[in-house]
Amino acid sequence: MSRRNFSPPASRPPPTHPPRLPVLFLRARDAASADQYEAAAATCGYAAEFVEVLTWRPRGAERLRQVFAESERRWAGLVFTSSRAVRSLRFALAEEGEGSEDREQEGGEEEKAPVVPARWRSLPAFAVGRKTAESVQAAGFRQWAAATTTLPGGSADWDCAVDAAALAERIIKDHAEKEDSDRDLPYLFLAGDKRRDSLPAALSSAGVPLREVCAYETAPRAAADIERDLARAYPRMRGAPSWIVFFSPSGADAALPALHGAGLLRNEDGCPRIAAIGATTAAGLRKHPAHPLTVSVTASRPAAAVLLDEIARFDELLKLRGRFNRRYCPSPTIAFAPKNLSGRFPIPKPQSSLRIAGGDVATVRRKPDLAGGAVDQMSGEPLLAVLAESVFRAVDEDLVVQ
C-alpha cells in the first residue's frame, strides 16, 4: 500500500478586523479620567477623536460665595444645566475665585469630594444629563442618591432630565407639591453666559419663581487652533470621520467654519453623518444661518452610552436598508430610509404594492395602522418593515417600527 505524504496545513494569516469607524467629538477629552465618550465609542466599535471648540472659565465667584453664606431656607432648590456650573461652584466655595481658564478636563480626585455646605445638601437639585447629575451628586447634594435607569451596556444613570423641557416639567411638579408657605421661594439657577431662554420661559409661564446667577462663561477657541487640531486628527481618522458629534449650538458656531474649511462636511460618500447630544443642539444645526446640516441622530438622553448606542443602531439600519433594497427593491420605487432613531421611517409612495412573506430577512406579522388600513410589519433580526397595499395610498404616513 502506498503511503501518502501529508503536508502540514499552511499556516493561516491571523484574522484581520476592519478598522474602527472614526467618530469626531467636538469637545475636549477628559484627561483626568477615562473619558465616557471614548469608552462608549470603543464598546460600540468606533474610534474616538476629540477636537475642543470652546473654552470656558468660572465667573461670579464672589456672588456665589455670598449666596451660599446665606440661609438655604431662602431657596426652593437649585438648577444646573451644565457640569461647568457645578465646577464653578466648586471653584467659588474653594475660594479659588475667577479667572482660571479651564479645558474641560473633569474627573480629578478634587472633584469627587463633597464641597456644598452641609445645610444646603438637603435642598432638591435638578440637572440635565448624566454628567451634570453626577457632578451635582458628587458635590454633596443628597437628591441624587439612587440610580433608576440602566443604560446600554448595563451602567447606571442618575435620575436626571433629558433636556430643558423635561427639566422644567420636574421643577414645575416639585413646585406644585410644596406647601403653600414655600411656593414663593425661588429656585436658584446657576447658568452660563450663553444659556437659552427655554427653561426660564417655561418656568415663568408656569408661575415658578427663578433667580439666576451667571456661574461661567464660554468662548470659541481661535479658528486657527481648531483647524490645527483637525489637521492633527485627520491622519488618525484616515480622512473624513464617519460621524461628527456636536454638543451645543455655541460649539457648532465655533466649529462649522473650520469643518467646512477643512472639507470635512462635503458628504461625498454619505459621510460624515451628524449627531447631536440633544434636541436644542440638533435644532440649532438644522437652522444654522450659514451652515445648516442634516442631523441623523439626536440622542434620546444626553449620555455617552445612549448616544453611541443610537449611532450604532443607525449605522446598522443603513446596512440593512442596503441589503433590503438590493434583494427586494431593484427599482427605486420604495426606499427604506432611516429618518431618526425614534423608530419612524418615511416611505415614499410606491407605484405598486409590495409584500414580503418571510424568508431569511424577517418574519411578517399584521398589525393595525394609524391610517386605518393594515401594515405588514416584520420584526426580528434584522428589523425591517414595508407597508401593505391597503396603506400605500397614505402618501405622507410614516411607518412605525417597534
Cα angle 233, 305, 32 (rounded to 5 degrees) comes to: 60
pLDDT of residue 358: 31
Give the chain's domains with CATH numbers: 21-53+221-312 (3.40.50.10090), 56-219 (3.40.50.10090), 332-400 (no CATH)
Residue 59's contacts (CB-CB under 8 Å, 6 or more residues apart) are 88, 98, 193, 214, 215, 216, 217
Cβ atoms < 10 Å from Cβ of 107: 18
Give the three-class secondary structure for 158: strand
> What is the DSSP-derived secondary structure letter of residue 265?
T
For residue 56, the model assigns a pLDDT of 92
Give the whole-angstrom CA distance, residue 338 versus residue 321.
Answer: 8
Annotate 275-331 with DSSP letters as a single string.
EESSHHHHHHHHT-SSS----SEE-SSSSHHHHHHHHHHHHHHHHHHHHHHHHH-SS
Q: What 8-state DSSP symbol labels residue 148?
A: E
Sign of CA dihedral 241, 29, 17, 230: positive
pLDDT at 320: 67
Q: Decide if 78 contacts 53 (C-beta within 8 A).
A: no
Is the Cα dihedral 361, 363, 369, 372 positive or negative?
Answer: positive
CA 231 to chain centre: 25
CB 147 within 8 A of CB 36: no
Looking at residue 20, its pLDDT comes to: 84
310/126 Cα distance (integer angstroms): 25
Q: Give me the tens of pLDDT residue by residue for the chain, a chain 402 residues long.
A: 444 443 444 555 544 455 789 999 999 988 766 789 999 999 999 999 999 999 999 999 999 999 998 888 999 999 998 889 999 999 898 864 333 333 334 444 445 567 888 889 888 899 887 788 888 888 888 754 333 343 344 344 445 777 788 889 999 999 999 988 889 999 999 999 988 888 999 999 999 999 999 999 999 999 899 999 999 998 888 777 899 999 999 999 999 999 988 888 876 556 789 999 988 899 999 999 988 998 989 998 888 999 999 999 888 877 766 555 555 444 333 333 333 323 333 333 333 233 333 322 323 333 333 333 333 333 332 333 333 222 222 222 333 322
Rg (CA), the chain: 26
Do 29 and 232 contact (CB within 8 A), yes or no? no
Helix 83-93 to helix 61-69 angle, to the nearest 10 degrees? 80
- The C-alpha atoms of residue 263 and residue 140 are separated, in whole angstroms, by 45
